[in-house]
Amino acid sequence: MIKAVNLCKTFGKIKAVDNVNLEINQGEVICIIGPSGSGKSTLIRCLHGLETPESGELYIDDKKIDFSKNNSKELSKIGFVFQSFNLFPHKTVLENLTLGPIKAFGVSQKDAEETGRKLLARVGLADKENSYPSQLSGGQKQRVAIARALCQNPEAILFDEPTSALDPEMIGEVLNVMKELADEGMTLAVVTHEMGFAKKVATRVIFVDSGKIVEEGTPDQIFENPQSPRLKEFLSQIIHM
């Protein structure tokens, strides 16, 4: 569904993504883990064209993405959820959801609102449609952001540390929504520090260090039987999971 071939992205001298090959297939739940600054965000952002790689190729549904052009049609098949939510503060919750479908895809306002309400109910926020983002808690904001991503009826959703900006007591509600999505068969790729979530929900775990995929496998393989010294060291440091 999403395929990256020899992807490279550097910032000055830093190789944030260093020759990465990655294929995300339908129904997979991929968790990307790794130390801070290892390039996880840059990698997942490259998969949605939020960063333009210097070299390498990106395919969405076997269609090659040409980064010199506008790819909004292909890329909007993929949803994206940010660490800092990035809701539109001057729009209501429902407007945040319906803006994309109405403006980008020409869905009628009535249909968009109907879908929007359904999705808000799905993330447990049916009563918040007329609120503004500033009136919501962090966990609620992130659930709205997930509903917004769902509005474009995506084939997959990418997450960049969706719970890192949240107070601990709100992490659970967001992870639960994500787990439900996974259980319904949605394809997910999640950069996360929540090892418990990775263990329980992931079908595949990818360990990234210094811009490279160092090791990948099932949660069992990665967490119970790590091979590379760097992964072992990383896991020993986050034993408190």
Partner 1 sequence: MNAIERILTPENLKFMLLGAKYSLLIAIFALIGGSVLGLLAAVAKMSKIKPARIIANIYVEVIRGTPMMLQILVLYLCGPVITKALFNFVFTPNPVLVGIIAIAINSGAYSSELFRSAIQSVDKGQWEAAQTIGLSYTQTMKEIIIPQAFKRILPPYINEFIVLIKDSSLLANIGAVELLHSAQVIGAKFYNYLVPLLCATVMYLVVTLFISFCARKLERRLAESD
Residues that bind partner 1 (CB under 8 A): 48-50, 70, 72-73, 75-76, 78-80, 82, 84, 86-90, 99-100, 103-105, 148-149, 151-152
Residue 192 binding Mg ion, by CB under 5 A = no
Cβ neighbours around 68 below 10 Å, total: 6
Residue 54 binding ligand ATP, by CB under 6 A = no
* SS3 of residue 33 by DSSP: strand
**Nearer CB in complex with Mg ion: 112/191:** 191
**Nearer CB in complex with partner 1: 70/237:** 70
Find the shortest distance in angstroms from Cβ 93 to Mg ion.
26
Residue 152 binding ligand ATP, by CB under 6 A = no
Scanning 32-167, the segments in alpha helix (DSSP H) are 40-46, 72-75, 93-99, 105, 109-122, 138-151
Find the shortest distance in angstroms from Cβ 27 to ligand ATP.
25
Instruction: Report 118-137 residues binding ligand ATP (CB under 6 A).
Output: none
Instruction: Report 8-47 residues binding ligand ATP (CB under 6 A).
Output: 11, 14, 16, 34, 36-42
Of the candidates 35, 48, 40, 37, the one whose C-alpha atom is nearest the C-alpha of residue 14 is 37
Among Mg ion, partner 1, ligand ATP, none, what does residue 14 contact (CB within 5–8 Å per kind)?
Answer: ligand ATP
**Nearer CB in complex with ligand ATP: 36/70:** 36
CA dist 33 and 159 (Å) reads: 12
Cα-Cα-Cα-Cα torsion 193, 197, 201, 203, nearest 10 degrees, comes to: 30
CB 90 within 8 A of CB 79: no
Please identify the residue of the shown chain whose CB is closest to the bound Mg ion. Answer: 41
CA dist 218 and 198 (Å) reads: 10
**Nearer CB in complex with partner 1: 129/160:** 160
What are the phi and psi torsion angles at 90 (to 5°)? -95, 5
CA dist 158 and 149 (Å) reads: 9
Residue 163 binding ligand ATP, by CB under 6 A = no
CA dist 116 and 47 (Å) reads: 26
Residue 41 binding Mg ion, by CB under 5 A = yes
**Nearer CB in complex with partner 1: 99/235:** 99
Contacts of residue 224, Cβ cutoff 8 Å, sequence gap at least 6: none
Find the shortest distance in angstroms from Cβ 84 to ligand ATP.
11
Binding positions for Mg ion, rule: CB under 5 A: 41
Binding positions for ligand ATP, rule: CB under 6 A: 11, 14, 16, 34, 36-42
